[in-house]
């Protein structure tokens, strides 16, 4: 029997020492939550007309009810902002790497063009010198 009373006492201790909903609400408001609990109720009415004994009578009936609620703004946690900044950082690094690779490939292309031009000019100069030497020897 004493085990049962011990278990009940521990359960009561946990029950009484728990945080209330008001405590958690105040804590969330302190961290930046804005609770906008305004809600609008729109009722859609339908007008029916019926002829009874030659007299036209109108009946108004409610067809549907629509509840419009505003959202509650909950600020982002540190983890969510950390992930968001990490995505921004990764995209910036990706753009840097992409421009770096584009610069290197452009540089290789320009040096290859310059090398081809230099080889062409040197071959023309050597050809002209060879022709001049051949003409002078005659």
Tell me the C-alpha to C-alpha distance, in Å, between residue 25 and each of 17, 21, 73: 17, 6, 13
Cα R_g (the chain), whole angstroms: 43
The pLDDT, as a whole number, for residue 38 is 65
The pLDDT, as a whole number, for residue 6 is 85
| DSSP 8-class letter at 57 | E
The pLDDT, as a whole number, for residue 37 is 60
55-82 exposure pattern, b = at least 16 Cβ within 10 A, e = fewer: eeeeeeeeeeeeeeeeeeeeeeeeeeee
Rounded Cα distance, 10 and 4, in Å: 10
The pLDDT, as a whole number, for residue 42 is 75
What is the CA angle 68-24-18, rounded to 5?
Answer: 130
Q: Chunked in runs of 10, what are the mean pLDDT values of the chain (138 residues)? A: 84 75 82 71 79 80 73 80 89 83 77 81 89 86
Rounded Cα distance, 115 and 128, in Å: 20
The pLDDT, as a whole number, for residue 71 is 67
């Amino acid at each position: 029997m004493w085990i049962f009373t011990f278990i009940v006492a521990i359960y009561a201790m946990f029950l009484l020492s728990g945080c209330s909903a008001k405590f958690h609400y105040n804590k969330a408001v302190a961290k930046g939550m804005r609770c906008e609990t305004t809600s609008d109720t729109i009722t859609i009415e339908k007008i029916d007309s019926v002829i009874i004994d030659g007299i036209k009578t109108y009946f108004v009936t409610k067809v549907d009810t629509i509840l419009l609620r505003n959202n509650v703004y909950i600020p982002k946690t540190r983890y969510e902002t950390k992930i968001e900044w990490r995505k921004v950082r990764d995209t910036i690094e990706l753009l840097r790497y992409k421009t770096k690779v584009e610069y290197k490939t452009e540089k290789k292309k320009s040096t290859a063009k310059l090398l081809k031009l230099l080889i062409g000019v040197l071959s023309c100069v050597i050809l002209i010198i060879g022709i001049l030497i051949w003409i002078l020897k005659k």
